[in-house]
Structure 1
Amino acid sequence: MTRQSSMLGRRKMMTVALAIGVVGGSIVSAAEPVTFEKHVRPILKTHCFLCHGESSVAKGKLDLRLRRWLVRGGESGAAIVAGQPDESYLLDRISLGEMPPGEKRLTSEEIEVIRKWIAAGAVTARPEPETIEGGNYLSEEDRSFWSFQPVRRPAVPVVGNSHQLRTPIDAFLLKRLEERGLAMSDPATRAVLVRRVTFDLVGLPPTPEQVRRFVEDQEPGAWQRLVQRLMASPRYGERWGRHWLDAAGYADSEGYSDDDRIRPSAFRFRDFVIRSFNEDQPFDKFVVQQLAGDELVPPPGQTLSPEQIEALAATGFLRMAPDGTGSGGVVAVVARNEVVADTIRIVSTSLLGLTVGCARCHDHRYDPISQADYYRIRAIFEPALDPKSWRTPDGRK
């Protein structure tokens, strides 16, 4: 960072402008205390840590990962002055759009959060660690993010028009509607219901006869019988299995080059997924078979039972990444490396709900995944994707 001669005057103008136009739309509520860990650090991590904290040498000798390091500053002096946003160099640079470099800038809301934090004394939620090992420091806020918490059953809210409730989920919906002065729509007709549930479960419209049969069936349990019949249809697995196939990157060809080589055995994995849905297979078994189905089959893999054949077919999950190792004009080592990276991407997005690929080159900007974590994950897959025993797509059965 380099200090500008006209810093103070421009900073004051920007602060006034923000106070007039942004305070009402701040991403921090007025009653909530602004802390470094919860509000400021995530912004700095997204925009600044690559150069000022997670690189081997911090640019300008400025490390922004801890509050006290902002106060200490770098080559241009202190980055912030607690209680004095107008005297804080960091706020000046980001307000003027001079930092971070490039086209991406902090939003006015993000800048206002930092201004509020400095004005309130630049407080922290807790004492900071003495040191940070490596480049990626995970705060308690990182670890306590809502999506990383165990699933808990919440209390069902109390609503006024409880007679409209048919399931506990309805109570959550109706609660939000009532808060906004809205009400539930009128109940759907039986003809509409049968169309909705048929599209939803099997992906096809009901026949006129199926609609008529349900409309005329006034016996208790008619709805339950309809749902059970649809879920027993082979079309159910085809309808819902495709969502997992999408997550797994399923394709009938390699999808790598213009010749786009066919995968003659890919259908075996597709059929495994469809059967698993139709047979209501437990999810843990479903996952284990795809990640380690070959470990469930004793060597040398001859005279296999139907269950063992199914387990081997499930491992097609690990072969869904585009594979260019057999394509002409491609460096085999580079192509194999991309296969491994894409396999990790497929596994992480489908099973963890995280895009770990950013950590392939540096600590993740958003999720609590370090570059070291990424290569620990990769080490798990390396034995299965061993270059010494690698087979190109044409060499696989």
Structure 2
Amino acid sequence: MTRRVAPILFVVAVLVGGGPVAAENPTAAPAPAFNADVRPIFQAYCTECHGEAAKPKAGLDLRLRRLVLKGGESGPAIVAGMPRESLLLKRVTSGEMPPGKKKLSATQIEMLQRWVAAGAPVETTEPESLATGFTITDADRGYWAFQPIVRPPMAGAYLSDPAIANPIDRFLLAKLKAADLTFAPPADRTTLIRRVSFDLTGLPPAPEEIDHFVHDRSPDAYEKLIERLLSSPHYGERWGRHWLDVAGYADSEGGLPADPVRTNAWKYRDYVVRSFNSDKPFDQFICEQFAGDEMVKTPYAHLPPADLDKFIATGFLPLAPDPTGGAG
């Protein structure tokens, strides 16, 4: 969690992931596809019996699109383009399948209906055969989250523009140029220290801090200012709040009018603040919150602060509103 990039990464994550993407045709959603939309439903509800077993029940294998069309002992599972004639849809709509209490949601059933109505499309050429048991296909391996992390090429425009101070400026300037705009002139030092201080700590600079920065003519004056603010305990308090918002942190249970107090929730809050202030690596920060208790060796008595923090980090897991109360 490199401090210098934490604010930038947070803003980029919010901008990139924070809103819906408009379809080209707002009146018609794209047809579901087998690998992306349908097979995950089958994997969650069906293929343990109808595909992964050495002998699929009723001879029905739902792991590939062509096998769904082929069907089993009762005939084709679906009729492409004809959802009302598709046996599989009749079974899941009636609640007959899957057996037990775990049923498909209305949204999932609607997804299957749209897929069949669109002709049951599939994105890629399917393999000739599948091994018995749980199978990882090429489509699974191609999922975006499993791809190697690469550094994308930088935009080549405006390399020599004097306004470019860092790589991000190249992307910003490209958008501004397209609108016949350019960067605003550099801020004066009084404005700059106020902006930086509010950004990194949420607090205004003291008058003496402004005066010192304005009159500091050393070439690294700005860098020294940034380092001082990043070293402030208020940095973690300011930027830790963004993570606490994402995690759903609250000091009470929620869900009921009584709203019982979570007496120890503050320990997780302080853990987050400490993590930001210590510049903890982001992968470690995530692992501790999901499985910190598994990262500590027994015995658990007299734990050093670093190991105790790993236990406290798992306070992330029960942060959702809990109407049963009393979680502490």
- Normalising by structure 1, we get a TM-score of 0.52
| Structure 1 residue 41 corresponds to structure 2 residue 39 | no
Please show how residues 330-369 of structure 1 align to structure 2 within 5 Å: none
Distance 1:107 1:192 in 2: 57
Deviations 1:371-395 (A, max 9, x none): xxxxxxxxxxxxxxxxxxxxx857x
Specify the SS of the correspondent of 2:82.
helix
Question: How far apart, in 1, do the equivalents of 2:81 and 2:283 lie?
Answer: 49
Distance 2:185 2:274 in 1: 35
Distance 1:51-1:142 versus aligned 2 partners, 3 A rule: closer
Is 1:236 matched with 2:230? Answer: no
Distance in 2, Cα, partners of 1:123 & 1:254: 45
- Gaps in structure 1 of 5+ consecutive residues: 1-20, 29-35, 80-88, 336-391
Say whether residues 1:196 and 2:195 are aligned partners: yes
Unmatched tracts of structure 2, length 5 or more:
1-23, 52-56, 94-104
Which structure: greater helix fraction? Answer: 1
Contact 1:67 1:124 in 2 (8 A): no
8 A Cα contact 1:269 1:315, kept in partner? no
In structure 1, the residue matched to 2:80 is 90
The SS at the match of 1:243 is: helix
Equivalent position of 2:223 in the other structure: 224
Q: 1:61 to 1:208 in 2, by over 3 A?
A: farther
The CA distance in 1 between the partners of 2:171 and 2:125, in whole Å, is 32
Equivalence map 1:1-397=2 (5 Å): 39-45=33-39, 49=42, 53-54=46-47, 56=49, 64-73=62-71, 75=74, 77=76, 79=78, 89-93=79-83, 101=93, 104=107, 105-106=110-111, 114-115=118-119, 124-131=124-131, 133-134=133-134, 137-160=135-158, 162-163=160-161, 164-175=163-174, 183-190=181-188, 191-207=190-206, 210=209, 214=213, 217=216, 219-255=218-254, 258-283=257-282, 286=285, 291-292=291-292, 296=296, 299=299, 301-302=301-302, 308-320=304-316, 321=318
Could you tell me the TM-score, scaled by structure 2's length?
Answer: 0.61
Contact 2:71–2:77 (8 Å) recurs in 1: yes
Instruction: After TM superposition, give the deviation of residue 275 of structure 1 in Å.
Output: 2.5
Amino acid of the structure 2 residue aligned with 1:150: P
**Equivalents in 2 of 1:45, 1:195: separation in Å?**
53
Q: Is the 8 A contact 1:234 1:278 kept in 2?
A: yes
Match of 1:12 in 2: none
**Larger relative CO (CA 8 A, sep 6+): 1 or 2?**
2
State how many pairs are aligned.
278
- The offset of 1:144, in angstroms, is 2.3
